[in-house]
Amino acid sequence: MIFFDDIQQKTIPAHIAIIMDGNGRWAQRQGKDRIYGHQQGVETVRKTIEACVDIGVKYLSLYAFSTENWNRDPDEVSALMELFMYFYYTETDNLHKNNICVKAIGNLDMLSDDCRNGMQNLIDKTKNNTALTVVIALSYGSRWEITHAAKQFASDINNKVIDINTIDETIFASYLQTNQLNIPDPDLLIRTSNEYRISNFLLWQIAYAELYFTDVLWPDFNKDELLKAIHDYQGRTRRFGKTNEQLIK
């Protein structure tokens, strides 16, 4: 078991992104409905936010609903939307009281007015908070985000807002939702439930993130598991394309 004291304070990842997977299997293993797993998943979200504040993580990105998740059974989709709204209504004051800022990425136009307005209220209320920024990826897909950025980018080239000869990675990245919301790239990406995929999450932004996979299902994820992931991350050498010798210099 990893304890808080085993974690080096100097190298705590500033931004942790999580693919919260395994709610359905967790529920089915107990003979319960998949929605029950998602409900427990919300509890884990609450506890993970608390754990990130305690540990000193500055950004936590949560993959709550992908562009592909719209293809699930309509009953599951509407139950998930209800759960998101439940989260906004029950957690807004609490998050604000704890100095937590909430941001959202994704194609929010796809959400119902109620769901979008609940989210917007949470974002507006918490926008000046500084302890931790929680980024909720809702109706999010990285290919959608990049395509959306490319459209705006092309339009700015067309309208001569930017000059094609000056384009570089930084300029293109400034069109991504994350950059427009001042969210840095993740340092550590965690995926639960023994699946080894990225599933269209932050593809551009995780170029140099460390990846951590665990077989724990999302409803069973907790602070101990988070500390384990951070401890593992701290044992890695982040070279960003350089050699070990270059890093020592």
Q: Does 122 bind ligand FPP (CB under 6 A)?
A: no
Query: How many whole angstroms separate alpha carbon 217 and alpha carbon 30?
Result: 13
The footprint of ligand FPP on residues 61-90 (CB under 6 A) is 62, 64, 69, 83-84, 87
What is the number of alpha carbons within 13 Å of residue 209 lying toward its C-beta? 28
Q: Which are the contacts of 229, defined by CB distance < 8 A and separation ≥ 6? A: 16, 188, 190, 212, 214
Task: List the end-to-end C-alpha distance of the chain, in Å, as a whole number.
Answer: 34
Task: Tell me which of 45, 111, 119, 209 binds ligand FPP, using CB under 6 A.
Answer: 45
Binding mask 7-36 for ligand FPP (x = CB under 6 A): -------------xxxxxx-----------
We find the least distance from the C-beta atom of residue 211 to ligand FPP, in angstroms, to be: 18
Binding mask 158-197 for ligand FPP (x = CB under 6 A): -----------------------------------x----
Pick the closer one to ligand FPP by CB: 79 or 162. Answer: 79
Q: Does 101 bind ligand FPP (CB under 6 A)?
A: no
Q: Can you state the angle between helices 34-55 and 223-234, rounded to 10 degrees?
A: 60
Q: Which residue has the tokens 């551009």?
A: 204
Pick the closer one to ligand FPP by CB: 153 or 201. Answer: 201
From the list 33, 69, 129, 156, the catalytic residue is: 69
We find the least distance from the C-beta atom of residue 9 to ligand FPP, in angstroms, to be: 27
Q: Does 100 bind ligand FPP (CB under 6 A)?
A: no
Query: How many whole angstroms separate alpha carbon 121 and alpha carbon 104?
Result: 12
Which amino acid is located at 117 in the chain?
Answer: N
Tell me the backbone φ, ψ of residue 10, rounded to 5 degrees: -70, -25
By residue count, the chain amounts to: 249
Q: Does 118 bind ligand FPP (CB under 6 A)?
A: no
Indicate if 222 belongs to the active site.
Answer: no
Pick the closer one to ligand FPP by CB: 22 or 141. Answer: 22
Q: Does 226 bind ligand FPP (CB under 6 A)?
A: no
Indicate if 21 belongs to the active site.
Answer: yes
Report residue 158 as tokens. Answer: 């067309």
Q: Which of 76, 133, 72 is nearest to 105 (CA)?
A: 133
User: Which stretch of DSSP H or E encloses residue 104?
Assistant: strand 100-105
Q: Which are the contacts of 32, defined by CB distance < 8 A and separation ≥ 6? A: none
Cβ–Cβ < 8 Å for 134, 95? yes
- Centroid of chain to Cα 82: 20
- Listed ranges 37-45, 94-102, 116-124, 173-181: which one lies at the site for ligand FPP (CB under 6 A): 37-45
Task: Tell me which of 132, 136, 189, 227 binds ligand FPP, using CB under 6 A.
Answer: 136
Q: Catalytic residue numbers?
A: 21, 69
Residues that bind ligand FPP (CB under 6 A): 20-25, 38, 41-42, 45, 62, 64, 69, 83-84, 87, 136, 193, 218
